[in-house]
Amino acid sequence: MTEDIARRLNTPVTHLLIECQECDPGVLDDEEALSNVLSELVFRQDRPVMDFLFHQFRPSGVTGFVMTSGSRANIHTWPEKQYASADLCTEDDVVTTQIVEKMRVGLRAKNVRVVECKRGNHQSMQMEIVNFRRVPVRPIDLRDAIPNGVRLDTSLNRGFGLFAVRDFSPGDLIYVATGEQVGWDAELIIETDLGRTIHSGDSYGYEISSVWAKNWPQQIREAIANHYQLQNPTIEELIASVTADEEFNVIILGFDGLANHSGNSNAQLQWSEAILEFDESDRPVWSIPVRAVCPILAGQELLQDYNHTLLDFIPPSDWDD
């Protein structure tokens, strides 16, 4: 668009990019339900829906479009992946939290994320991205990293999961998880033989909190104090040193991050046996054994209790068996 055309138009527009995950597959394959959701996004008393168009794909999936004189919304759904992407362009004032709630309720989605773009600014000729910033990206290739005795496979209603390839008795070492530290908002691109997934550091790893750090074993405290030459450090000083003042305050444990949660766990990270060392670049490297807490048969999924692992974290009730 040329500056002259933009100046004559002078029409500020809000463009929302909407990602919806863990949605109800039935809703994602229902044209009428999706039409109602989009109509709710663009609805105003003085601007009735002017046109809409929907197409049902086979075996599943829907693409749809709804338009008023001042707004338009479109959506495409992947019911088999419980995922939908949508766009809303409008000249109206937008409260993003209300849009998130409408999509969450309408699609029965557990996770809705929105990027807000301000468009039509003829003065700057630039698009303004609201409440969005670049984050560090960390690719993690796990295709050759799965340890002996464990395999990666799909887990019913859970995505990926780790499974035993042989029997384990209580107390047996299953594997040692090796971890590095990243920021809580780092974008982790996880490559596996089953495909690629994208996580935030906070959702994939273990945040170094003061509650958790108070339970660190003596060898962890000593490793931090010795490396940074701290004398009788407080918990806060230990955390500040090892996290670089919270720049790297989440521990990610490679393939162990693919293990799923259960209140009836059969395996557990043994933080009391954890070892902390520092590599040639002065970065902390964590090693934490994972042991069987009950008999595990070959073919069973390895499940961990995140509540026990994180000490101060209580998983949502729908995460359990």
Of 120, 105, 111, 59, residue with least CA distance to 85: 111
Round to whole Å and give the CA distance between 301 and 151: 9
Q: Over the stretch 267-296, which tens digit does the pLDDT of each residue have? A: 999 999 999 999 988 999 999 999 999 999
Q: Over the stretch 36-46, which tens digit does the pLDDT of each residue have? A: 999 989 887 77
Residue 121 CB neighbours (<10 A): 15
Query: What pTM, to 2 d.p., does this model score?
Result: 0.59
Superfamily of domain 3-130 in CATH is S-adenosylmethionine decarboxylase (3.60.90.10)
Q: Over the stretch 46-78, which tens digit does the pLDDT of each residue have? A: 777 788 899 999 999 999 999 988 899 999 999
Domain ranges of the chain: 3-130, 137-314
Residue 184: what pLDDT? Answer: 86
Cα dist from 62 to 33, 97, 160, 313, whole Å = 11, 25, 26, 38
- CATH 2.170.270.10 is right for the domain spanning 137-314: yes
